[in-house]
């Protein structure tokens, strides 16, 4: 007799939600998952977890999952369920036909930061080796692409500089544009522990996040800046440090380009960057800015953690570079307890960027224009690689509207719901002649699809995810794919239907190809990951067991590079019609657009999105707590329930975007980061007024 709910085996795997990358023991009874138990040997979580990883896995067996491929000739027709073979034949014929009719560059791919490294590597390979172009982009485009640009320019590589353990040696922490206790809870707990031990905290955020004051934690400084002024605030911090002689000159002379430092020092010393000069612009009192700069520069080991409140701005890349400047200025790079760390939103944002998902970069952040880099892949793949960078997601959609981009393979990403300017995304998708959606559920993007390929969950496949500290963790198959195939197998079927002749039989073979072509992964094998538990890249002959801390003896680019970061105001202006600024974030129990968490059987997952508004702004509008309000911007409008709170300052409102009904991206603008096109989700001029309800 088998007692229901009693596990008879377990498999260790990695959470598929946020970039902390917690390890779990999936306890099984036969092919049924009984529970997820945080694994005490997991190096990123050490036996801890949050509510999402532990309980929100029910979506894997949710009744709305699509398990059979479907096709249709036009998006007005109903779907027809077909065999995998027929779906692949249909998709391949359409995509090849488009290339014959409109040219080699008329089709492209979007990779997912939710899928494994191996799956992502195959999707960009599909574009480069089978489609014959570099039209590959990733959903990291809309979150951390400015990290790639900013840290690449200043330090030489796009990655956090330290491991999570390092937080235990830090003395003073800047958290800017991040809310770790909600969005990265297990790391947030480790940070809180260090703060309770006495480390000082500076929070730079328009909203009073929990870290500012909670449970024996009191931030030394909360710089509640006006949304959109990150660059002015960080540059003002640097102004104080330089003008008061608080910088680490020995570090700068030894580790950084001295001439570039001199130019930077002259720039930040200008009185127009002083706290007093930017007080009105940023809404941060000058005295508070000065005090925060002194705390950071003289407080010992200094760490900076940042999130999407830094990157999702028209100056996202500039802010990342300003943060890197601040770390170099204070000598806070290259040892335990210091550094610059992007907190990655999705489980494999780091990996999807590492794997060459960008239209200008091959795996390992190497530009496609480099003939010696192309030669490595040309030899490995037996094809010639286009030396011209391809299209970003936004460019693909623009080109579709213009009529030159006609076909898209979109894996694990609901661009209609998660990308900015929903109307433009819809217009682009509607203009394409073949949209292939590869996903778990019939998402919003699938309304414009001609082929639907069922996806598999993290529980149904082998592979690896790379977390925010560059840690490559094993993902292990816990149960058979309900749809029949892991995602890497589906991509391989599509490639082969288009004549590729790929013959991978296990993701370890794909990792071997990654290692053979990508220097920072040269020493990575499944056997090594199994033996060590996990490996942090770079892992190669110089670091056979991986690299917990980056830039220890020198920056990856050689000398660290100070870059002048001029503040440029966003084009999104408030005015009489739209007098408030909207910014956005997440709550602990939900995840992004909620596709997974909302499909888990727990009432916590079904909380609605609320609009936080300061009581003064609410009173002026006759709004009470719990009233429905109309939130309108220049782009569109939606209806939300109001929550009166002084967590936000007067003039600022805040919401989350977990429910499709919220339609936050109908509200947000089409402004984007100047360097990477990352959308400016965090600053939208809005009006709020009473409404009768949705």
Kindly state the smallest distance separating residue 394's Cβ from ligand SF4, in Å: 28
3-state class of 384 per DSSP? Answer: coil
To the nearest whole angstrom, how small is the minimum distance from the Cβ of residue 305 to ligand SF4? 14
DSSP string over 307-335: -HHHHSSTTHHHHHHHHHHHHHHTT-SSS
Whose Cβ is closer to ligand SF4: residue 15's or residue 678's?
Answer: 15
Cβ proximity of 615 and 623 under 8 Å: no
Please give the sequence-ordered ranges of beta strands (E in DSSP) within 315-417, or none if there are none: 339-342, 361-362, 366-367, 407-411
Q: Which is nearer to ligand SF4, 105 or 344 (CB)?
A: 344
Which residue matches tokens 């080699």? Answer: 104
Q: Which two tokens stand for residue 269?
A: 């010393």
CB 582 within 8 A of CB 631: yes
- Rounded CA-CA distance 463/476 in Å is 7
Closest separation in Å from C-beta 210 to ligand SF4: 15
Shortest spacing between CB 588 and ligand SF4, in angstroms: 9
The least CB distance from residue 410 to ligand SF4, in Å, is 24
H/E run at residue 86:
helix 84-102
Interface residues toward ligand SF4, by CB under 6 A: 15, 17-18, 20-22, 45, 49-50, 52-53, 184-186
Nearer to ligand SF4, 185 or 390 (CB): 185
Q: What is the CB neighbour count within 10 angstroms for residue 197?
A: 9
Nearer Cβ to ligand SF4, position 469 or 513?
Answer: 469
If the CB atoms of residues 14 and 138 are measured against ligand SF4, the closer one turns out to be 14
Residue 518 or 596: which CB sits closer to ligand SF4? Answer: 596
Report the C-alpha gap between 247 and 329 in whole angstroms. 5
Provide, rounded to whole angstroms, the least separation between the CB of residue 38 and ligand SF4: 7
DSSP state of 345: S
* Helices marked H in 184-285: 185-196, 230-243, 249-255, 258-269, 275-282
Count other Cβ atoms within 10 Å, centred on residue 54: 16
Tokens at residue 69, please? 């491929």
Whose Cβ is closer to ligand SF4: residue 147's or residue 346's? 346
Q: Where are the alpha helices (DSSP H) in 518-634?
A: 526-532, 615-620
Contact 116, 488 (CB under 8 A): yes
Looking at the Cβ atoms of 424 and 476, the one nearer to ligand SF4 is: 476
Q: How far is CA 230 from the centre of its chain?
A: 19
Report yes or no: 127 and 381 within 8 Å, Cβ to Cβ.
no
Smallest distance from the beta carbon of 590 to ligand SF4, in angstroms?
11
In whole angstroms, the minimum distance from the beta carbon of 52 to ligand SF4 comes to 4
Find where tokens 């508004």 sit. 613
Which residue, judged by CB position, is nearest to ligand SF4 in the bound state? 53
Of 50 and 172, nearer to ligand SF4 (C-beta) is 50
Please choose, from the candidates 477, 430, 489, 472, the residue with its C-alpha nearest in 3D space to the C-alpha of residue 126: 489
Distance between CA 91 and CA 104 in Å, rounded?
16
Beta bridge partners of 81: 70
For ligand SF4, which is the closer residue by CB, 188 or 359? 188
Least distance CB 117 / ligand SF4 (angstroms): 16
Q: Which is nearer to ligand SF4, 51 or 543 (CB)?
A: 51
Question: In whole angstroms, what is the distance from residue 358 CA to residue 128 CA?
Answer: 11
Considering beta carbons, is residue 22 or 95 the nearer one to ligand SF4?
Answer: 22
> Could you give the CA distance from residue 23 to residue 13 in angstroms, rounded to a whole number?
6
Which residues are CB-neighbours of 280 under 8 A, at least 6 positions away?
none
Q: How far apart are CA 339 and CA 395, in angstroms?
A: 34
**21 versus 227: smaller Cβ distance to ligand SF4:** 21
| Distance, CA of 144 to CA of 110 (rounded, Å) | 15
Rounded CA separation 209/60 (Å): 32
Residue 496 near residue 85, CB atoms below 8 Å: no
Number of residues in the chain: 694
Shortest separation between residue 11's beta carbon and ligand SF4, angstroms: 16
Compute the least distance from the CB of residue 642 to ligand SF4, in Å.
Answer: 28
> CB of residue 556 vs ligand SF4: minimum separation in angstroms?
27
CB 562 within 8 A of CB 325: yes
Q: Considering the complex, state which of residue 179 and residue 295 has its C-beta at the smaller distance from ligand SF4.
A: 179
Quote the least distance from Cβ 37 to ligand SF4, whole Å. Answer: 11
- The distance of closest approach from Cβ of residue 399 to ligand SF4 in the complex, given in angstroms and rounded to an integer, is 35
């Amino acid at each position: 007799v088998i007692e229901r709910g009693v596990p008879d085996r377990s498999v260790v795997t990695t959470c598929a939600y946020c970039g902390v990358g917690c390890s779990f023991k999936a306890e099984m009874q036969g092919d049924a998952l009984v529970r997820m138990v945080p694994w005490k040997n997991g190096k990123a979580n050490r036996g801890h977890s949050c509510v999402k990883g532990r309980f929100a896995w029910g979506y894997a067996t949710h009744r709305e999952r699509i398990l059979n491929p479907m096709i249709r000739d036009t998006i007005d027709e109903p779907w027809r369920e077909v065999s995998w073979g027929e779906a692949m034949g249909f998709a391949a014929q359409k995509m090849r036909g488009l290339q014959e009719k409109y040219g080699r560059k008329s089709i492209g791919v979007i990779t997912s930061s939710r899928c494994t490294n191996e799956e992502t590597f195959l999707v960009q390979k599909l574009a480069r080796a089978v489609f014959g172009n570099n039209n590959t982009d990733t959903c990291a485009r809309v979150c951390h692409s400015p990290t790639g640009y900013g840290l690449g320019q200043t330090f030489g590589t796009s990655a956090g500089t330290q491991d999570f353990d390092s937080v235990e040696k830090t003395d003073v922490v800047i958290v800017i544009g991040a809310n770790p206790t909600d969005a990265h809870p297990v790391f947030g707990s480790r940070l809180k522990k260090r703060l309770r031990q006495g480390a000082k905290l500076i929070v730079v955020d328009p909203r009073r996040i929990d870290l500012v004051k909670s449970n024996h934690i009191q931030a030394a400084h909360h710089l509640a800046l006006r949304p959109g002024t990150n660059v002015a605030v960080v540059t003002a911090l640097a102004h104080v440090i330089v003008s008061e002689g608080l910088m680490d000159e020995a570090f700068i002379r030894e580790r950084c380009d001295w001439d570039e430092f001199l130019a930077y020092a002259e720039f930040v010393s200008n009185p127009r960057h002083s706290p007093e000069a930017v007080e009105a612009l940023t809404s941060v009192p000058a005295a508070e800015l000065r005090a925060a700069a002194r705390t950071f520069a003289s407080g010992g080991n200094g760490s900076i953690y940042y999130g999407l409140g830094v990157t999702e701005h028209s100056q996202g890349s500039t802010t990342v570079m300003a943060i890197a400047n601040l770390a170099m200025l204070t000598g806070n790079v290259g040892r335990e307890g210091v550094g610059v760390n992007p907190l990655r939103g999705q489980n494999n944002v780091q990996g999807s960027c590492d794997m060459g998902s960008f239209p200008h970069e091959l795996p390992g952040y190497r530009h496609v224009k480099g003939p010696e880099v192309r030669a490595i892949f040309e030899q490995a793949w037996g094809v010639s690689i286009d030396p011209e960078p391809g299209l970003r997601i936004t460019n693909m959609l623009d080109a579709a509207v213009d009529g030159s981009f006609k076909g898209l393979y979109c894996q694990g990403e609901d661009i209609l719901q998660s990308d900015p300017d929903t109307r433009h995304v819809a217009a682009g998708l509607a203009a394409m002649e073949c949209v292939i959606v590869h996903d778990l559920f019939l998402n919003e993007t699938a309304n414009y699809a001609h082929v639907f390929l069922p996806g598999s969950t993290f529980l149904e496949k082998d592979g690896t995810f790379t977390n925010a500290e560059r840690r490559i963790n094993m993902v292990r198959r816990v149960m058979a794919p309900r749809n029949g195939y892991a995602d890497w197998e589906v991509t391989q079927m599509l490639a082969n239907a288009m004549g590729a002749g790929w013959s991978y039989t296990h993701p370890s073979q794909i990792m071997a190809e990654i290692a053979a072509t990508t220097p920072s992964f040269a020493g990575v094998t499944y056997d090594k990951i199994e033996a060590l538990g996990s490996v942090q890249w770079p892992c190669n002959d110089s670091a056979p067991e991986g690299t917990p801390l980056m830039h220890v003896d020198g920056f990856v680019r050689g000398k660290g590079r100070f870059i002048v970061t001029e503040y440029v105001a966003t084009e999104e202006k408030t005015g009489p019609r739209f007098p408030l600024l909207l910014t956005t974030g997440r709550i602990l129990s939900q995840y992004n657009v909620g596709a997974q968490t909302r499909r888990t059987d727990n009432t916590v997952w079904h909380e609605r999105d609320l609009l936080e508004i300061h009581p003064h702004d609410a009173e002026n509008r006759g709004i009470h707590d719990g009233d429905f309000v109309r939130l309108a911007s220049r782009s569109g409008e939606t209806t939300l329930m109001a929550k009166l709170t002084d967590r936000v300052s007067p003039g600022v409102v805040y919401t989350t975007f977990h429910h499709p009904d919220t339609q936050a991206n109908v509200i947000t603008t089409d402004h984007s980061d100047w360097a990477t096109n990352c959308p400016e989700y965090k600053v939208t001029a809005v009006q709020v007024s009473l409404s009768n309800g949705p």
